[in-house]
Structure formats: C-alpha cells, structure tokens
Structure 1
Amino acid sequence: MKSVRKNKQKARQLVRNTQAEYRENTIYLQEKDRERLAEELHDNIISRLNLIRLNAHQKNRDELTSDLKNSMQLIREFTHNLTPPDLNDIELTDLMADYLEQVNVNIDVHFYEIKLNKINLNNSIKLNIFRILQELVNNTLKHAKASQIKVLLRISKHYLILIVEDNGIGFTTGNHSGIGLRSIHLRTKQINAFYKLKTKPKRGTKWIIFVNNQQ
C-alpha cells in the first residue's frame, strides 16, 4: 500500500510539474510575441510616421496623402499580424503569403509552396507554424544582414515541412541562444514537431521544421 501511495504522489507531482512548465512556456511565448510586435510597431510604423512629420514642409498635399495612405496600410497589416483572421477560414499558405508580401519591401523574399492534397490542418499547427515563420523572418531581418530569404512550405497527407533559408552572415549556435531559439523550440514542442538548424558564420542560415499533421 505504501508503494501504491508513493507512486500516486509521484504521478500527481509529475502532473503539477508538467502544468507549471506549460504555464511558464505559454507566458514566455506570449512575451516573445509582444516583444516582436513592439519592435515591428517601433521600427516600421512609428519611424515612418516620424519621417512624414519631419518632411511635411517639403512635400505637397498629394505626396503627404500618399505617404499617409501607405502608413495606414502598414497599420492595417500590423493589426492583421497582431490578431490573425479566423484560422478556420484561411489556408496556412495564404496566411504566410500575405505576411511575406509585407516583408518583401525590406528584403528579397521567395515563397514556394507544394501542396499535394487538400489537407485540413488543425489550428494549433497553423498558428504555431505561422508564428515560427514570423520569428525566423524577424531574426533574419534583425541579425543576418541577408539580402534574400527563401521559404518553402510542403504539405502532404501526413507531413508538413517548412524550410526557411537566408544568405546572411550565419552564426555559431552555441553563442546565440538569445535570438529566438528557445521560442522555436517551445513552439515545435507544442505541436510535436522536429526542427533542424544548419548555419555557419558567413554561410547563411537554414531552418527545417518537420510536422506530423495527423494530430
């Protein structure tokens, strides 16, 4: 009987530890999303509006109107990224293509998609793969000094593969734990995915995310 009680106590403690770890990871990912969105707000929208303010006296009304319309479009895109549309009503490829089209103004982006069948991905996979893409692209824009990003999404009946590759400066993985590696690890863990990172200094960076979509 003592052995049974001891095993039950161990089981309850394991559940509590797992729940605590899940809460901690969820909070971390939420903070990473807030950090990324704050940077996007500052770097893209506020800086653009400030530039309009500084140059207002040098431009005519039509030019200012055009600049403001472009800024309003950026704000609409920002709010779209803040709260993606109902995942039940949009394909992952469309969500990614829309996001990458916005990024394309800052860097040369090539997006390739291979969809072998009509596949209904669950929303957890959709959201986490989309957030992983945003994290990887954000890391590239901030750190890689790259001129090009290639994104490949391959979806088949059983598997999803996401490949994100840039031609930037690369890095030594052991020295760069703070550029979103933990976020990628936690998001892949949430959807039982695997990832592989290939990078070397001055040789670019390549991420491969592999998901069993029959979950």
Structure 2
Amino acid sequence: MSQWENPGLVVEWIWIGIGLFFLTTLLITVLIINYLKSIRKNKQKVMQLVRNTQTECWENTLHLQERDRERLAEELHDNIISHLNVIRLNINHKNTEELNLDLKKSMQQIRELSHNLTPPDLGEIELTDLIADYLDQISKTIHVDFRHMITDTLISSPVKLNIFRIVQELVTNILKHANATKIDVSLRISLEYLMLTIEDNGSGFKQGTSHHGIGLRNIQTRAQKIRAAYKLKSKPERGTKFIACVVIES
C-alpha cells in the first residue's frame, strides 16, 4: 500500500511541513530582528561619535579663539601700547623727524598684528606665497631663509590655514623667547604628503620641562585638526627644530 493511500500518514507529513515552515519563518524573523537591532546600535554609535567629534571641534575652536584674544591683548599691551607710551613721554624731548619715525614703527606693528589675526583669502593664494609674504615682513626683524619644493597638488583650505597659523605661532615665539638671529623654514609638498620644518639658532630649552612660550598646546590643537604628525626637538643653547607632516588626501 502506497504512503499516499494512508490518510493519517499524509496528514502527518503536512504537519511536519507546516512545522518546518514555521520554524524557518521564526528563524528568519529572529535573524532580521537581530540585524535591525545591530543596525540601530551601530547607528547610535556613529551618531555618538559624530556628536563627540563636533563637541571636540567646538572646544578646539573656542580654545583657538581664546588664544587669539590673549595674543591680541598681549601684543597690544607689551608692544603697541608700551611703544606709544614711550612716544608720549618723549614728545617734548625729540624732534619731529624722530617722533615721526617712532609713529611709523608703531603703525607697522599694528599692520603686522592685523595681518596675523585676519584670516587670509585661502582660495586665491598658494600656501607657499602665503608663508613667503608673512616671512618677508619678519625678515625686517631677523634673517629668514625660506626654501620650498612643491608639486602641482591641491591643498585644502583647512590645511592651508592651520599650517599657516602654526608657522605664525612658531615664528612669533622664536622672536619673543629664543634670542635667535636666524630662522630656517622649509616646505615640501608632494602628491602624497606635506612636510614643514622650522628651525632656529636660539637659546632652546630643556625638553620635558614646562615651556609656555612655545605655545605647544595651540600648535597641538591645530595639528590635530588636520591630522598632522609633528615633533619638536630642542636643547639648551642649541636652538629648536619643529617638523610636521600632513598626508595629502586626494
């Protein structure tokens, strides 16, 4: 007798088929639910990472703004206001030509301060020209040797701005604290990386000690914004050397 001629056996196979279908459907449903939960968890992690990154960027921005305010206050107090006060005290002891020369020096200091604080027009000027223009003003105070080797590579505006500000920060601190007579600046830009080197022949400092004049925290913040690796080398009476490397993203 064939199995299909036995109604009980047919019903049993039908129920087995229904059971297997139910189990398969249940298994697929569980897998889909777990997959959707995993997607939601990953999405939450990504959103949290984005929020953390935004918070960190905002904190870095506030820090840089505060540093610029402190620098502006320091420059106004230590240089410009002090210089103008000397002119005021000597107004009755100097002739017109000497006073005119002193006023021109004060105007030049104000012009340099404005140039340092004003964001440059990054879209219409190359990074080498930006740095060269700044160093040309500094060369009136100290001997500067600027060497550069570049290829036809597109540099993003954030990289331009932060590299330029790092140069300003380092040169400003060299002029204030290093007692140097020469600054060597080297900029190399290839298709894959950007390499910046700044070296002076000043007094240097012992590494591992607190050296607030270098503005290392400000440099570190700007380097992090463009994912730059950097190293600062210095020895007492042996000068200071700064090297930074940025990977060029295509």
Q: Specify the TM-score bucket, using the shorter chain as the normaliser.
A: 0.7 to 0.9
1:68 aligns to 2:110 (yes or no)? no
Give the aligned partner of residue 135 of structure 2.
100
Q: Which runs of 5+ in 2 are unaligned?
A: 1-33
1:163 aligns to 2:197 (yes or no)? yes
Looking at CA atoms only, which structure, 1 or 2, has the larger radius of gyration?
2
1:137 aligns to 2:171 (yes or no)? yes
Q: How far apart are residue 177 of structure 1 and its match? A: 6.3
Q: Name the aligned partner's letter for residue 85 of structure 1.
A: P
**Using a 3 Å threshold, how does the CA distance of structure 1 residues 4 and 213 change in structure 2: closer, same or farther?**
closer
TM-score, normalisation: structure 2: 0.75
Give the aligned partner of residue 23 of structure 1.
58
Question: For 2:227, what is the secondary structure of its paired residue?
Answer: coil
Q: Name the aligned partner's letter for residue 164 of structure 2.
A: F
Q: How far apart are residue 71 of structure 1 and its match? A: 2.0
CA distance in 1, matches of 2:80, 2:124: 28
Q: Name the aligned partner's letter for residue 21 of structure 1.
A: E
Q: Name the aligned partner's letter for residue 200 of structure 1.
A: K
Give deviations 1:117-170, integer Å, cap 9, x for gaps.
344422211110110011112222333333322211223333322111112232
Q: How far apart are residue 43 of structure 1 and its match? A: 2.7
Give 1:125's match in structure 2, choosing from 153, 159, 174. Answer: 159
Give 1:1-215 correspondences, 5 Å limit. 1=34, 3-106=38-141, 108-176=142-210, 178=212, 179-215=214-250
CA distance in 2, matches of 1:139, 1:180: 7
Give deviations 1:188-209, integer Å, cap 9, x for gaps.
1211221122122332210011
Q: How far apart are residue 46 of structure 1 and its match? A: 1.7
Instruction: Count residues with an aligned counterpart.
Output: 214
Identity %: 60
CA distance in 1, matches of 2:110, 2:211: 31
Q: Which runs of 5+ in 1 are unaligned?
A: none
Query: What's the C-alpha RMSD, in Å, of the aligned pairs?
Result: 2.4
Using CA pairs below 8 Å that are at least 6 residues apart, which structure has the higher relative contact order?
Answer: 1
**Using a 3 Å threshold, how does the CA distance of structure 1 residues 117 and 14 change in structure 2: closer, same or farther?**
closer
TM-score, normalisation: structure 1: 0.85
Q: How far apart are residue 54 of structure 1 and its match? A: 1.7
